[in-house]
């Protein structure tokens, strides 16, 4: 068993370092660049990797490291959710937290899935012909290759996306939502369990080890939660980084990014990208130049677009990307240069569509604020009643 949390001299949990070290803007920016990296990986590395082997070189791997970016994304989610909830007295009930998280994920997913359904219904997804041209298996040969059905699409968006959606999959990239939802419920359950509050490390560590053995990328979520706990209890990242620590972290970050690109090129598998993604997160936490870059306006914008960008890229790849590939091939113009231009157009279209998707995000966040307000209004009279001694 691990030690039951590190406490300050007063015997109370040491929460100061966590609040000082957490840079919300930098973490949002990191999430945004990770989402963009996934889109670059899908639109360029994956789509044209067989037809044009030149796409599987160092620079594309640096710019679009999909698996490592997903690992960063999941580590961030575990960290942020734990940071917001740990050892607080005003957390909502477990059921309400679960419903809130489900709504946060599901409403945007429904909008993205309906977009895919519309494109398929209008026959704007020539993935069969795109596969015949590009030859990438487990890509265009499996994307949108079934008859669209509205009820099946809604079933996928509201339920099957959080399990094993093997048929009529309207969003193959949304496999991460399985980790996001069930990892969130794990954090919620542990953060509100009296026994787990006394010793939270062991259950999270056991889950992380189990995930590393079965599906390493899923381990990033509990690892992110463990990092948040270590920071909360004053074991990790005490205070702001020194200049020397920042220089070391910056050098480590650059080395990890290069290592991640080499792993993507030469070492297939999930374990190393998962561990390197956690390394990116840890290095960013202590690298002042990285935090400066991730707080720039462009990074802030990408942070706002991160979830919409992740959701809409599939719709672009099965429609715009596939249509351009088919058209270029039909006109004898498909080559490495036009493939690069197609990838850039697809990336730009994904970003633009994510911007148009922002009202869905705002609607979702507004609904969550209403739920939070209703909970607070219901809770306040009870809190006042509990504070009045009985006579």
Each residue's pLDDT tens digit, 274-326: 999 999 999 999 999 999 999 999 999 999 999 999 999 999 999 999 999 99
**Confidence check: pLDDT of 173 > 60:** yes
Q: What is the mean pLDDT of residues 162-183?
A: 91
**Confidence check: pLDDT of 5 > 70:** no
Which tokens hold the place of 19? 């609040």
* pLDDT of res. 17: 37
Q: What's the CA gap between 314 and 354, in Å, rounded?
A: 12
Which tokens hold the place of 83? 């940071």
**Confidence check: pLDDT of 120 > 70:** yes
* pLDDT of res. 305: 96
Place 94 in a pLDDT band, splitting at 50, 70 and 90: confident
Tell me the CA end-to-end span of the chain in Å, nearest whole number. Answer: 45
> b/e map of 196-215 (b: 16 or more CB within 10 Å)?
eeeebbebbeebbeebbeee
Q: What's the CA gap between 80 and 88, in Å, rounded?
A: 14
**Position with higher pLDDT, 24 vs 248:** 248
DSSP 51: T
Which tokens hold the place of 107? 């409403």
Q: What is the mean pLDDT of residues 186-205?
A: 79
* pLDDT of res. 383: 55
**Position with higher pLDDT, 4 vs 224:** 224
The helices-and-strands tally (H runs, E runs) of the chain is 19, 0
Q: What's the CA gap between 319 and 11, in Å, rounded?
A: 59
Q: What is the mean pLDDT of residues 125-151?
A: 95
* pLDDT of res. 12: 31
**Position with higher pLDDT, 370 vs 13:** 370
Q: Is 180 in contact with 162 (CB distance < 8 Å)?
A: no
Which tokens hold the place of 140? 């265009």
* pLDDT of res. 379: 74
Which tokens hold the place of 299? 């990074």
* pLDDT of res. 129: 97
Q: What is the mean pLDDT of residues 365-385?
A: 81
Q: Is 299 in contact with 97 (CB distance < 8 Å)?
A: no
Residue 7 has φ and ψ, to the nearest 5°, of -115, 155
15: exposed, middle or buried (Cβ count in 10 Å: 0-12, 13-18, 19+): middle
Which tokens hold the place of 81? 């959710």
Which tokens hold the place of 383? 């809190």
> b/e map of 100-117 (b: 16 or more CB within 10 Å)?
bbeebbbbbbbbbbbbbb
User: Nearest CA to 240 among 286, 180, 175, 187?
Assistant: 286
Place 214 in a pLDDT band, splitting at 50, 70 and 90: very high
Place 192 in a pLDDT band, splitting at 50, 70 and 90: confident
pTM score of the predicted model: 0.89
pLDDT digit string (tens) for 329-342? Answer: 999 999 999 999 99
Domain ranges of the chain: 20-378
**Confidence check: pLDDT of 4 > 70:** no
Q: What's the CA gap between 39 and 386, in Å, rounded?
A: 51
Q: What's the CA gap between 65 and 72, in Å, rounded?
A: 11
Q: Is 387 in contact with 337 (CB distance < 8 Å)?
A: no
Which tokens hold the place of 91? 């957390």
């Amino acid at each position: 068993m691990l030690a039951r949390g590190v406490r300050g001299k007063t015997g109370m949990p040491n929460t100061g370092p966590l609040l000082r070290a957490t840079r919300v803007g930098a973490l949002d920016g990191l999430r945004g660049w990770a989402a963009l990296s996934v889109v670059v990986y899908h639109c360029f590395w994956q789509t044209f990797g067989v037809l044009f082997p030149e796409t599987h070189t160092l620079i594309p791997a640096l710019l679009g490291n999909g698996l490592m970016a997903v690992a960063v994304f999941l580590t961030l989610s575990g960290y942020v959710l734990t940071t917001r909830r740990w050892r607080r007295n005003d957390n909502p009930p477990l059921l309400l937290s679960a419903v809130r998280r489900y709504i946060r994920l599901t409403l945007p997913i429904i909008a993205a899935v309906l977009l895919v359904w519309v494109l398929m219904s209008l026959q704007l997804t020539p993935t069969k012909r795109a596969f015949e041209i590009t030859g990438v298996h487990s890509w265009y040969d499996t994307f949108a290759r079934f008859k669209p059905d509205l009820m099946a699409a809604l079933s996928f968006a509201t339920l099957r996306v959080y399990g094993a959606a093997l048929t009529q999959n309207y969003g193959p990239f949304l496999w991460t939502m399985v980790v996001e939802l069930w990892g969130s419920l794990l954090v919620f359950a542990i953060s509100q369990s009296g026994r787990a509050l006394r010793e939270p490390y062991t259950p999270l560590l056991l889950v992380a080890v189990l995930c590393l053995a079965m599906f390493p990328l899923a381990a990033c979520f509990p690892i992110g939660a463990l990092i948040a706990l270590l920071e909360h209890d004053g074991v990790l990242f005490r205070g702001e980084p020194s200049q020397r620590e920042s220089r070391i972290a910056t050098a480590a970050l650059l080395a990890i990014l290069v290592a991640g690109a080499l792993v993507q090129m030469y070492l297939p598998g999930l374990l190393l990208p998962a561990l390197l993604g956690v390394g990116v997160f840890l290095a960013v936490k202590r690298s002042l130049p990285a935090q400066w870059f991730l707080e720039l306006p462009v990074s802030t914008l990408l942070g706002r677009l991160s979830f919409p960008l992740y959701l809409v890229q599939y719709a672009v790849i099965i429609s715009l990307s596939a249509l351009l590939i088919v058209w270029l091939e039909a006109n004898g113009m498909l080559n490495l240069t036009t493939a690069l231009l197609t990838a850039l157009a697809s990336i730009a279209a994904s970003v633009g569509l994510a911007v148009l998707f922002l009202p869905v995000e705002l609607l979702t966040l507004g609904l969550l604020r209403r739920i939070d307000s209703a909970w607070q209004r219901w809770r306040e009279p009870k809190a006042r009643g509990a504070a009045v001694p009985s006579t």
